[in-house]
């Protein structure tokens, strides 16, 4: 009986590895003979080839995976991309320079006496190796260049220009990329919002009821104007609305969509317009209680901001109690201001002010002005125009309305009537100009001989201050030029603010053409630019810059050739004090006039009381090397004191300016200014 052999395949789990090794060892000879058969050898070759293919495939997959990762890293990392292209350009430029600078001269290599090889004739070419050129390219890319070495050939120089131009963009991009990476990492590290780039995602915004309304306004491709001409706003998420303040008033609008043109054009106080009528609101105020709070706050502001903590040794709490008990006895807002002034005055320093506040409105009877001085003439029975205030006629507003083109008004003519009202000696013409500011009025004008009556129309002006200031400065300037025979210039500085700084330069740039200069700081209102002006006045002319086509310029530029002198008076204060004292300390010139105001503790007004009152706290105290703190409450003494008496003022005599002219002419006489001839120019032919 024959035994049946099972045809079922033997799985790996049926025979263990130890059992298989035992079978092979027991039948070793048989297996050796089998392995020598040609079929077995062919099978082994097939197996080896298959293994080799698997190895190659694994290597190929590894390389593809590696290249894919590199490509992804390159695509997602801007810094790497910029660095790669920068390195590539450096290598290209290095190779090109090496070839151009070295290979083009390799046939003209010569040997110097000391054995040094020179390229390109007698000039040594430094770009003889790739390493040298690579170093030079790196330095040129990252800085301003390696100045000791430069290409010799024209092509090399052109290539260098391209390299330098590329440097601007690439180095900037590298720096920007590094900054972007650091900022992004910082944002993530701080666990705050970071930029996200994605598509097809949902944004869930439900952290409060207001956000969904805002999200409705978001347009990824276009900015939208919610509402124009807004000065401020406040979100009201509880009612899905925004409270908006503009020149049109205050209104509340829906946050779900921009308000329509119909809503914005509705000026009524309705629910649809959203406008809020504040006139309907009223507040009950106890004046005495409010004054007590304001008084204590003004006192605290001084305590907290005064320039020295110990309040200059004053018992400040005692001062508070001394005046506080008087508040119940005052009966008006102006009396409260007086009380605050008295309290702050106990500090004994300058710049301790109180102004503004909730005063009852009062009617102002403003007078429209003509920009002219007039005097009644009994013979003609009209007012004669004795002086027209010129101002700046080119400005259009800083001049007398009588200078308007086409009017042909001259000094010496007469004004017979204003708006049909005939003028007389017993009443002022201003009676007919009350409440006529910036309004058209009709004037009846007579010629210089009192004849040829005609009517003109002009628009009055609210103030003549700027006009008369300009006339005063121009009169002084012309007077100085005339009295010194155009040897001395004149500059007035009205204050040390931006206006004073601009006025200084308006005249400074034209007056420095004269040999000497008078600086007038009388009536200077102070400010903060004195040191900028002193820097220019301290310049001493050392030489000249001579050109063939562009003239001659002094060195330092805008410097004065001869002596300088300053005029000051008791109305020059704050930074006017500081300027006057520093002018003396710097020995720029003589100081003439009167001792200055004496207030050099500066202020920074920024804290308002409840009714809008502003109080100032002296915070910035000045100390000088020569007198210490003693300019405060005293001022600075002048070198030559000159008084203007009431009689002098009435006659129009400026004794201070006259003395300044006298002193500066004496200085010029002692040390005259000789304009150089600029002859004996260099002659290189000798």
Active-site residue set: 351, 574, 632
Which DSSP state fits 624? B
Q: From residue 636, give the alpha-carbon distance in Å to each of 492, 573, 640, 664.
A: 19, 10, 12, 21
Q: From residue 282, give the alpha-carbon distance in Å to each of 69, 157, 251.
A: 73, 81, 18
Backbone angles phi, psi at 481, to 5 degrees: -60, -45
For residues 636 and 580, the answer to whether their CB atoms sit within 8 Å is: yes
Q: HSE (CB half, 13 Å, CA atoms) of 364?
A: 8
Where helices occur in 325-451 by DSSP H, the ranges are: 333-345
For residues 601 and 620, the answer to whether their CB atoms sit within 8 Å is: yes
The residue behind tokens 């210490």 is 628
Which DSSP state fits 430? G
DSSP run (H or E) holding 662 = helix 655-670
* Rounded CA separation 172/165 (Å): 11
Buried b (16+ CB within 10 A) or exposed e, 236-264: eeeeebbbbeeeeeebbbebeebbeeebb
Nearest to 592, CA basis, from 636, 637, 635, 640: 640
Say how many C-beta atoms besides its own lie within 10 A of residue 663's C-beta. 20
Q: At what angle do helices 38-76 and 78-98 cross, to 10 degrees?
A: 100
Tell me what percent of the chain is helix, strand and coil, each rounded to the nearest 5: 40, 15, 45
Say how many C-beta atoms besides its own lie within 10 A of residue 550's C-beta. 8
For residues 622 and 596, the answer to whether their CB atoms sit within 8 Å is: no
């Amino acid at each position: 009986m024959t035994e049946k052999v099972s045809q079922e395949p033997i799985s790996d789990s049926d025979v263990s590895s130890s059992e298989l090794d035992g079978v092979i060892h027991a039948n070793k000879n048989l297996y050796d003979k089998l392995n020598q058969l040609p079929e077995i050898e062919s099978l082994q070759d097939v197996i080896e080839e298959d293994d080799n293919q698997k190895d190659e495939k694994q290597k190929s997959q590894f390389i593809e995976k590696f290249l894919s990762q590199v490509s992804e890293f390159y695509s997602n990392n801007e810094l790497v991309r910029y660095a790669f292209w920068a390195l590539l350009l450096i290598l290209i430029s290095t190779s090109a320079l090496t070839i151009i600078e070295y290979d083009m001269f390799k046939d003209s290599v010569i040997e110097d006496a000391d054995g040094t090889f020179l390229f390109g004739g007698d000039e040594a070419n430094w770009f003889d190796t790739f390493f040298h050129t690579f170093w030079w390219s790196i330095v040129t890319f990252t800085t301003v260049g390696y100045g000791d070495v430069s290409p010799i050939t024209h092509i090399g120089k052109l290539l260098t220009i391209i390299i330098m131009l590329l440097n601007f963009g690439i180095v900037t991009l590298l720096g920007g990329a590094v900054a972007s990476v650091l900022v992004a990492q910082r944002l993530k590290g701080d666990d705050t919002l970071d930029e996200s780039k994605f598509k097809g995602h949902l944004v869930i915004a439900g952290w409060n009821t207001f956000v969904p309304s805002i999200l409705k306004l978001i347009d990824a491709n276009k900015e939208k104007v919610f509402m124009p001409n807004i000065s401020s706003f406040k979100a009201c998420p509880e009612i899905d609305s925004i409270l908006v303040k503009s020149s049109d008033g205050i209104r509340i609008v829906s946050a779900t969509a921009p308000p329509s043109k119909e809503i914005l054009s509705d000026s009524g106080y309705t629910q649809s317009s959203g406008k809020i009528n504040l006139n309907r609101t009223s507040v009950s105020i106890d004046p005495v209680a409010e004054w007590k709070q304001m008084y204590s706050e003004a006192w605290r502001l001084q305590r907290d901001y005064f320039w020295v903590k110990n309040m200059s040794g004053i018992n400040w709490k005692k001062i508070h109690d001394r005046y506080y008990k008087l508040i119940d006895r005052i009966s008006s807002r102006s009396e409260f201001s007086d009380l605050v002034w008295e309290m702050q005055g106990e500090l004994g320093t300058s710049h301790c002010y109180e102004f503004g506040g909730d005063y009852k409105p009062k009617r102002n009877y403003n007078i429209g002005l003509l920009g002219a001085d007039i005097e009644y003439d009994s013979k003609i029975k009209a007012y004669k125009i004795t002086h027209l205030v010129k101002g700046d006629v080119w400005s259009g507003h800083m001049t007398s309305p009588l200078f308007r083109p086409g009017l042909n008004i001259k000094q010496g003519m007469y004004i017979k009537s204003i708006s049909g009202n005939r003028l007389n000696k017993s009443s002022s013409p201003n009676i007919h100009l009350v409440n006529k500011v910036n309004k058209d009025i009709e004037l009846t004008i007579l010629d210089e001989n009192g004849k040829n009556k005609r009517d003109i129309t002009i628009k009055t002006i609210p103030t003549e201050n700027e006009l008369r200031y300009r006339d005063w400065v121009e009169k002084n300037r012309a007077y100085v030029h005339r009295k010194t025979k155009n040897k001395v210039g004149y500059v007035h500085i009205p204050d040390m603010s931006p206006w004073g700084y601009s006025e200084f330069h308006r005249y400074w740039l034209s007056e420095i053409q004269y040999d000497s200069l008078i600086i007038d700081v009388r009536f200077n209102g102070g400010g903060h630019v004195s040191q900028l002006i002193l820097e220019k006045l301290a310049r001493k002319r050392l030489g000249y810059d001579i050109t063939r086509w562009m003239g001659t310029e002094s060195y330092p530029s805008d410097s004065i050739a001869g002596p300088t002198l300053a005029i000051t008076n008791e109305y020059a204060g704050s930074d006017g004090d500081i300027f006057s004292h520093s002018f003396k300390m710097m020995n720029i010139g003589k100081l003439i006039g009167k001792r200055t105001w004496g207030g050099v503790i500066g202020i920074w007004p920024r804290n308002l009381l409840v009714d809008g009152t502003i109080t100032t706290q002296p915070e910035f105290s000045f100390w000088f090397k020569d007198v210490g703190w003693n300019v405060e409450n005293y001022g600075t003494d002048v070198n030559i004191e000159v008084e203007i008496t009431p009689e002098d003022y009435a006659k129009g005599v400026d004794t201070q300016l006259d003395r300044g002219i006298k002193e500066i002419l004496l200085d010029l006489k002692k040390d005259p200014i000789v304009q150089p001839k600029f002859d004996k120019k260099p002659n290189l032919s000798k």
